[in-house]
Chain A
């Protein structure tokens, strides 16, 4: 699974796309691993840009939950941005909006977690 990572200063924005069902959740987990490894205090922060995600299953949500737990344990920051349409409703119905800090878009997420990253984004 290609997460098309983009780095802005101390923050990595990951962009999963398409559908993450039960079989795809393992691919998501594997793709996230290297980025989670460096999501820790003093290292990278991670923004999951879900704006191109069409669907996510409970298994996929579990992968996100475990990613959040790992980031927290490491003193890192992992947030979600760009929820839209079906995935936004799935997050709300599953109460995952209570688990993750959710931002309307990447810009808003960076503004909150890293001014340096926001500056890098705006610098193009």
Chain B
């Protein structure tokens, strides 16, 4: 399985500003001082080998949208944040306008997780089939309301593809698009649901917008079981632990510390932090990544957990 991130930011999309870009350019130019970088190839080699991630990359600013490439012809997505726009355009550019089958698993219907759908071009084209799966009863209503006046000039009814909303029951296994899929209720305003995807012995868990209160060992164990032996856990690590259990308590998000602990207890192989705080710049997210890698190292009790932080465009093979 290949996991491709189209949107990794939480709450709302953000964009690099001119000061952000100039800061990266200045850092790169200073580091390049005295180097012979006369050709694009030389410059690219320098960029790839010598510049730190926050200088050479950006974590990006699209809101939640993650693709699972299963090896089949059908597309599998988690959430339809603003990253869905780029995903949809990529599909059209690489495989044409129609004949596509999409399976989308929705964590919940908060705006940042549905806001890409009005701009998801395949939905407007005949010959495409979009199945939107979720455990919420009001999912279809949320999508219709978004694609309607006064919020959007193109009504949902103008989408010419076949679109269906499929209700899932949490805790039950489903066979969809070659995957075994199970949803789990998570703590978030209006509820959210995580998804466990299994294929040929590989497991990817998508668990975003999930607050962990840490006050009930049975609840914690439930997530340990949900993450058990996962090859990849995509985890909402939006806040520092101190914030998540004090001033941002009940905001519905979690922390890097809890992510590491749950993955250690579950013996998951890889924790990928996701749903980044929109006020964080690339350096701040990178600092959180480095701290989290250090936390895993000093608290490891035999089972290593790889730690990464998702960025728009990142691909992980499991």
B residues contacting the other copy or chain, number (CB 8 A): 23
B242 within 8 A of A: yes
Which chain A positions have C-beta within 8 A of B255?
A: 58, 94
Q: Out of B212, B215, B243, which one reaches A95, CB within 8 Å?
A: B243
CB of B51 closer than 8 Å to a CB of A: no
Q: A62-B215, A65-B245 known; A94 and B298 CB under 8 Å? A: no
Are B299's CB and A99's CB within 8 A?
Answer: no
The answer to whether B261 touches A57, judged by C-beta atoms less than 8 angstroms apart, is yes
Against A, the Cβ 8 Å flags (1 = close, 0 = not) of B284-318 are 00000001101100110000000000000000000
Instruction: Select one of B240, B243, B245 contacting A62, CB under 8 A.
Output: B245
| Number of chain A residues close to chain B: CB under 8 A | 22
State the Cβ distance, A106 to closest chain B Cβ, in Å. Answer: 23
- Interface residue ranges of B216-262 to A (CB < 8 Å): 217, 220, 240-243, 245-246, 255-258, 261
By a CB distance below 8 angstroms, the chain B residues around A62 are: 214-215, 245
A69 to B245 Cα, complex, angstroms:
11
Cβ contact within 8 Å between A90 and B245: no
Asked whether, in the complex, the Cβ of B240 is within 8 Å of the Cβ of A55, the reply is no
Whether the pair B298, A95 counts as a contact (CB closer than 8 A) is no
Contacts of A58 in B (CB 8 A): 212, 214, 241, 245, 255, 257-258, 261
CB-defined contacts of B245 to chain A, threshold 8 Å: 58, 61-62, 65
Q: Are B214's CB and A86's CB within 8 A?
A: no
**Quick one: closest B residue to A23, CB to CB?**
B217
Any B CB within 8 A of the CB of A123: no
Q: Is the CB of A99 within 8 A of B242?
A: yes
Q: What residues on A are CB-neighbors of B212 within 8 Å?
A: 58
Please give me the 6 A-B residue pairs with the lowest Cβ-Cβ distance, nearest first: A94-B241, A95-B240, A95-B242, A59-B214, A93-B291, A62-B214
In the assembled complex, 13 residue pairs joining A and B whose CB atoms fall closer than 8 Å, in A order, are: A57-B261, A58-B212, A58-B261, A61-B257, A62-B214, A89-B298, A90-B298, A93-B292, A94-B240, A94-B242, A94-B257, A95-B243, A96-B241
